[in-house]
Amino acid sequence: MKDLSIYFKPIHKLSAYSETQLGYKIIDEVDYDTIENESIAILFVSEYRNSTIAHHNASFQIIQNKLYQLEAHHWSKNIYNLGEVSQGLTQFDTYIALKEIIAELVKNDIIPIVIGGSQDLTYPIFQAYEKLEQTVNLMSVDAEFDLGEVNKDIQWDAWLNKIIVHKPNYLFNYTNLGFQSYYINLKEKHLFDELFFDYYSLGEFYTNNKMVEPLVRNTDILTFDLNAIRSSDYKANTKDSPHGFYGEDACRIMRYAGLSDKLTSLGLFNFSHNKNTVKIDANLVAQMIWYFIEGVHQRKNDYPKGSKKTYTKYRVAVDDFKDEIVFYKSDKSGRWWIEVPYPNTQNLKFQRHLLVPCTYETYQNAVKNDIPNLWWKTYQKLV
Per residue, the 3-state secondary structure of 306-356, as one string, reads: CCCCCCEEEEECCCCCCCCEEEEECCCCCCEEEECCCCCCCCCCCHHHCEE
Sign of the alpha-carbon dihedral angle for 361, 363, 366, 372: positive
309: CB partners within 8 A, 6+ apart: none
Give the model confidence (pLDDT) of 307-342 as tens digits: 888 999 999 998 877 788 999 999 999 999 999 987
pLDDT for residue 372 is more than 80: yes
Helix (H) and strand (E) counts in the chain: 12, 13
Q: Where in the chain is the domain with CATH 3.40.800.10?
A: 5-296
Contact 256, 216 (CB under 8 A): yes
Q: Does position 161 have pLDDT exceeding 60, yes or no?
A: yes
pTM of the predicted model over 0.75: yes
Contacts of 174 (CB under 8 A, 6+ apart): 137, 138, 139, 140, 160, 163, 164, 192, 195, 197, 198
Record: fold of 5-296: Arginase; Chain A (3.40.800)
Q: Which of 103-107, 147-151, 223-227 has the lowest mean pLDDT?
A: 147-151
In degrees and rounded to multiples of 5, residue 336 shows phi and psi of -115, 150
For residue 70, which of 29, 115, 20, 132 has the smallest C-alpha distance? 20
Over the stretch 340-351, which tens digit does the pLDDT of each residue have? 987 665 555 667
In angstroms, the CA 118 to CA 270 distance is 5
Contacts 24+ apart (CB under 8 A), 162-166: 162/123, 163/122, 163/123, 163/126, 163/138, 164/195, 166/126, 166/127
Question: Could you tell me what percent of the chain has a pLDDT over 90?
Answer: 82
The whole-number pLDDT of residue 348 equals 56
pLDDT attached to residue 134: 80
Query: Is the four-CA dihedral 207, 224, 54, 160 of positive or negative sign?
Result: negative
CA dihedral 308, 309, 313, 318 (to 10 degrees): 70
Tell me: pLDDT of 284 over 90: yes
Q: What is the pLDDT of residue 153?
A: 94
Per-residue pLDDT for 121 more than 80? yes
Q: What pLDDT, on the 0 to 100 scale, is given for residue 221?
A: 98
Q: In the predicted model, is pLDDT for residue 146 greater than 60?
A: yes
pLDDT at 151: 87
Q: What is the pLDDT of residue 305?
A: 87
pLDDT tens digits for range 173-212 = 999 999 999 999 999 999 999 999 999 999 999 999 989 9
Q: Are 352 and 170 in contact (CB under 8 A)?
A: no
CA-to-CA separations, 100 to 114, 118, 139, 206, 341, in angstroms, rounded: 13, 18, 21, 38, 35
